[in-house]
Amino acid sequence: MESIVIHGGRKLEGTLHVQGAKNAVLPILAACVLVNGVCVLHNCPVLTDVAAAIEILRCLGCKVRREGHTLIVDARVISRCSIPDSLMREMRSSIVFLGAMLARLGAAQLCMPGGCEIGSRPIDLHLSALRTMGVTVQEQNGNLCCKVPNRLHSSVIRLAFPSVGATENVMLASAFAKGRTVIYNAAQEPEIEDLADFLNACGCNVRIDAGAVRIDGVDSAHDAEHTVIPDRIAALSYMTAVAACGGDVCLKDVRTAHFASANEVFRQAGCELDISATQLRIRSNGCLRAVEHIKTQPYPGFPTDAQAAVMAMLCVAHGTSTMTETIFENRFNHVPQLRRMGAVIRTKGCEARIRGVKRLSGAHVHAVDLRAGGALITAALAADGVSVIEGVDHIDRGYETIEACYRTLGADIERSAGSGKQQSKQKQPVRQL
Ligand code: EPZ
């Protein structure tokens, strides 16, 4: 089983290009199902979740070709309306294909996505919204059989929670619905805006304003070319490593407006930030201050996906920080692993209290979910000694060539074919800036 081996304690310096956004490219790939044509998508990161989405498209009958970070998706022929359980289980966010399949095909069979390491991840908001639009949904033995008896009709959808996935599913399902569909209390994440931009490039008619999304149905969608936005969560993960290790790093090709709420946390922790629209320079002397209270919230609040990595950074801050996770019910899986490295963290329900220590110590740890993996890398880079991180498959779901990225910044980090005990190491090609 692969592992990542890190000799910690080195400062990080240099320039890093930030990958395209996983959580933007996934719904945009699903949206390609709407298009009876060919779409060209740039800045698509090489991730296992993206590979899973490509497999779903191919399984539905699409042709998909990758040329570097560009994906060419030909959805002129869609030959089936079901997604195999194996692919649904590989990536629970496959549920976002549902809306596009209903709009294009009028039917969809797929298994319930099920929960994952960070929570039960129900889809009740998705299904109640689709039922409102005229979809019949049969749930049997963990499978979903969805049909559109007539044409999907435009509706007013009021989401009980600004669910990202539910917002995306309704945007896709309503693309061809007659009339105007309005989603109130919609998610406002940048990835939603990127999906709307892609849909409009395909000839759809989607407008976002003040927490509502308005979709005016069109008859069809056509070829489009689109560049996926940068990954704000990957950017924040790299920032936590620079903050914790100390150093001076410039992140390029980012959209700093997409993570403004988190930047304030780094300033409070004692980092210096120079920010322009598409670049961010972060400097840290490695001596951080605790941050009194961080609460994850829907966008534009502090992002839940950055909670683990920021916690790792605060493990070596001077003083006690408090973090409250309000989005997912089980998103502290990284805590026991951080404790193995010497972190002093107490959790009670959705609240974690982190009492900073002078140094963490390298240890053999296991990433149990994607963002926990990013957090363990941050902690290991800052720790004294050697860390071996297993569960690399989780990390590869959302971080492209993460070792190569950190190596360009001066980190001593390798992917090991074995469980970290063997020294046979594989170097990954460094993505050219
Ligand atoms: C998206 O997940 C992201 N994934 C997540 O990123 C991210 O953490 C999350 O949005 C919140 O920002 C992708 O975009 C692929 P939600 P999603 O629906 O759509 C509850 C990562 O690490 N809920 O906004 O699944 C749900 O249980 C991943 O990159 C319902 O109760 O998130 C959760 O508590 C992790 N019923 C909360 O809402 C529903 O029908 C937020 O879920 C849907 C959601």
* pLDDT digits 0-9 by tens, 6-22: 999 999 999 999 999 99
Q: For 386, phi and psi rounded to 5 degrees?
A: -100, 135
Write the CATH number of the domain with boundaries 22-227: 3.65.10.10
Catalytic residue (one of 59, 116, 250, 350) = 116
Q: Quick check: 52 pLDDT over 80?
A: yes
Q: Is 305 in the pocket of ligand 1 (CB under 6 A)?
A: yes
Give the DSSP per-residue string, 233-248.
Answer: HHHHHHHHHHHHH-EE
Cβ neighbours for 380, distance < 8 A, ≥ 6 positions apart: 4, 6, 8, 341, 362, 365, 387, 389
Q: For 94, phi and psi rounded to 5 degrees?
A: -60, -15
| Of 50, 90, 96, 121, best ligand 1 pocket probe by most atoms within 8 Å of the beta carbon | 121
Q: How far is the CA of 97 from the centre of ligand 1 (A)?
A: 15
The least confident of 32-41, 142-151, 260-269, 378-387 is 142-151
pLDDT for 91 equals 85
pLDDT digits (tens, 9 = 90+) for 172-211: 999 999 999 999 999 999 999 999 999 999 999 999 988 8
Domain 3-19+230-423 has CATH 3.65.10.10: yes
Q: Is 166 in the pocket of ligand 1 (CB under 6 A)?
A: yes
Q: Quick check: 424 pLDDT over 80?
A: no
| Of 19, 22, 23, best ligand 1 pocket probe by most atoms within 8 Å of the beta carbon | 23
374: its two tokens: 């990013």
Q: Which atom of ligand 1 is nearest to the CA of 120?
A: 27
| Protein residue whose Cα sits closest to atom 39 of ligand 1 | 123
Cα–Cα distance measured from residue 363 to residue 336, given in angstroms and rounded to the nearest whole number: 12
pLDDT digits (tens, 9 = 90+) for 367-376: 999 999 999 9
| Of 310, 327, 332, best ligand 1 pocket probe by most atoms within 8 Å of the beta carbon | 327
pLDDT for 428 equals 47
| Of 98, 125, 164, best ligand 1 pocket probe by most atoms within 8 Å of the beta carbon | 164
183: its two tokens: 């989603």
Q: Is 160 in the pocket of ligand 1 (CB under 6 A)?
A: no
Dihedral angle sign, alpha carbons of residues 90, 334, 349, 303:
negative
Cα–Cα distance measured from residue 116 to residue 403, given in angstroms and rounded to the nearest whole number: 25
Q: What is residue 416's three-state secondary structure?
A: strand
Q: Which atom of ligand 1 is nearest to the CA of 398?
A: 29
Cα–Cα distance measured from residue 79 to residue 64, given in angstroms and rounded to the nearest whole number: 14
Q: Quick check: 423 pLDDT over 70?
A: no
pLDDT for 361 equals 98
Cα–Cα distance measured from residue 432 to residue 77, given in angstroms and rounded to the nearest whole number: 35
Cβ neighbours for 256, distance < 8 A, ≥ 6 positions apart: 263, 275, 276, 277, 278, 279, 280
pTM for the model stands at: 0.96
Q: Is 139 in the pocket of ligand 1 (CB under 6 A)?
A: no
Q: How high is the mean pLDDT of the chain?
A: 94
Q: How far is the CA of 410 from the centre of ligand 1 (A)?
A: 34
| Protein residue whose Cα sits closest to atom 14 of ligand 1 | 23
Query: Is the previous residue joined to 84 through a cis bond, with omega within 30 degrees of 0?
Result: no
277: its two tokens: 């629209």
Q: 116 catalytic, yes or no?
A: yes
Q: How far is the CA of 362 from the centre of ligand 1 (A)?
A: 32
pLDDT digits (tens, 9 = 90+) for 22-44: 999 999 999 999 999 999 999 99
The least confident of 111-115, 254-258, 361-365 is 111-115
**Domains 3-19+230-423 and 22-227 in one fold:** yes
Q: How far is the CA of 116 from the centre of ligand 1 (A)?
A: 11
* Beta carbons of 150 and 134 less than 8 angstroms apart: yes
pLDDT digits (tens, 9 = 90+) for 380-397: 999 999 999 999 999 999
pLDDT for 177 equals 96
Q: Quick check: 432 pLDDT over 60?
A: no
Q: Which atom of ligand 1 is nearest to the CA of 163?
A: 24
What is the length of the chain? 433
pLDDT for 419 equals 58
Q: How far is the CA of 163 from the centre of ligand 1 (A)?
A: 6
Q: Quick check: 427 pLDDT over 70?
A: no
Q: Is 301 in the pocket of ligand 1 (CB under 6 A)?
A: no
Q: Where are the domains of the chain?
A: 3-19+230-423, 22-227
Q: Which amino acid is at 307?
A: Q
CB atoms within 10 A of CB 36: 14
